[in-house]
Structure 1
Amino acid sequence: MRPRDRPRRSGRRRWRNRSVIGVDRDPAMLAEARRMADRPRVQVRSGDAGSLPVEDHSVDRARVDRVLMHVPDPAGVLAELRRAGRPGAVIGLAEPDWDTLIVDSDDVDTSRAFTRYTTTRAVRNATIGRRLPRLAEEAGFTVDAIVTTTPVFRGIEVADQIPGLGRNTRRAIESGDMDEGRGRRWFASLSQGPFLASFTLFTVVARIPA
């Protein structure tokens, strides 16, 4: 009998003794995760994405969400996932491509300056989204699916939390990447009128060949 033809109950039995492991290196994040993940089969471990605290070939599923944009060596993290995963293991990767960031404004040049600052200064690996399929294949994974989504932000408050509109405008002005007067006028106009910002998010589903 093929696995997909087995009764559903056998699928539940298969996963009954498995654990979910969360990994972070920040003590505050670890403490909060342990507070929220108070479950018998949920483990929160201190560790680094480039050196996961798990045994070789011990992981069936993994999710990496908006992490590779920050790390010094994305290829090294994927190689570490390859080490940790069992044959047939599936990983989900989700990363923005910040080169696609747009902010609607009549002052198009300043909007472009904001995107340029985001991609060259604010984010370590700004184009990691588009690179995910290639990096996954180079690490030895088979890519099963590539999905792009385009979140649209219509409120400046949400855009301040996710694309970092306010803080990165301030930093761009402080670093000289954006003219102060023009930058302040640009941000003020965004705060007063209808707002729209967007970028492309890449999601890749990959597996380790069995």
Structure 2
Amino acid sequence: GDVIEKDSDIFGDGVNVASRIEPLADKGGICISNEVYRSISAQKDILTASLGEYELKNIVEKWHIFRVFLDKDEYQSWAEKSFSQKKIFERKSKTLKRVVFTLFFLVIILVNIPLIKASYLGYIQSNNINDLYENIQVVIKINRLNENVSLKKTKDDIYLSIPTSGFFNSGSATLDTNKSTQVLIIITELINSFDGFVEINGNTDNMTAPKRFKLKYRNNFELSGARVA
């Protein structure tokens, strides 16, 4: 652009651009815009190198800046230094990527550990339940307990129901060993072979117990609780 001289000072668009480019040059160095570079690029004795695009203060568009070298030695020194810095940057970049990837991988693992653990435990529990169910079926069949035992399986549980008449005499909470020994031994062995939660419940109504049992139990609920205990 035009340059205006006034009172030993100069003004103009070109002067403004030059003042923005000046800080990009090293001490004693020369930097030029793309327009200047195009005008001197045909002169083989002038050595230049691209510094890339820069945002200049108070100028909207990015400007492509070039560096001018005084001689071949200065150019070679700059090229070697730039190459070395580029390699250092690439190494740091690769290291940073590995660190970020490792941290990301660790976070993923830490976040999913509870899910993996729950899934694994669920898998083990499911296998244990299936194995126990099959073992109970075999035991029931071998010992011909089909008429005395009810077996039911869901996704997470097994329900084994045995009438109290197979363990207790009417109105009593004391085990009848003549009736229960065989079944209790079988049940105990099955429970001991199962690595999981076992719950024993007694189910009954809350009707008033017959008069002959009232001295010990007010109702069937109390009698059932005593039998479970």
For normalisation by structure 2, the TM-score amounts to: 0.24
Q: Which protein has the bigger strand share?
A: 1
Q: Which protein has the bigger helix share?
A: 2
For normalisation by structure 1, the TM-score amounts to: 0.26
Identify the structure with bigger relative contact order (alpha carbons < 8 Å, sequence gap 6+): 1
Larger radius of gyration: 2
